Amino acid sequence: MRLRDEVTGQRIAGLNSAETLGGWSFLFGGDMAYISDSVFLPEDRGAPLEEVRHRLRAGVNYGIGDSNFFYGVTYLSEEFEAQPAGQVVGTLSIDIRF
């Protein structure tokens, strides 16, 4: 079972069954969101928000038995009109079960 990281959208290992075969898996994806309003960041008390946001992601997972090792990279577009550029963030998940 995979879980989704809240910020990057990367899919990381959540629950593993006892019958997990392991091996390599790769992730490529993206999404786009239209923002019309924000309860947490009202425009009258902060920087104006970008109406459209994009996320592009890629990652690699290696599973061996019940353990998983994941690394991913995500591009996050600008969230505020005054933000000069998007940002790239990494995700590292190490799940060692013994």
Among 10, 6, 25, 14, residue whose Cα is nearest residue 72: 10
Instruction: Report yes or no on whether pTM surpasses 0.85.
Output: no
**pLDDT tens digits, 63-96:** 887 788 889 999 999 888 888 999 999 989 888 8
**What CA–CA distance (Å, rounded) separates 6 from 2?**
13
**What CA–CA distance (Å, rounded) separates 43 from 40?**
10
**pLDDT tens digits, 30-60:** 989 898 877 777 777 777 888 899 999 999 9
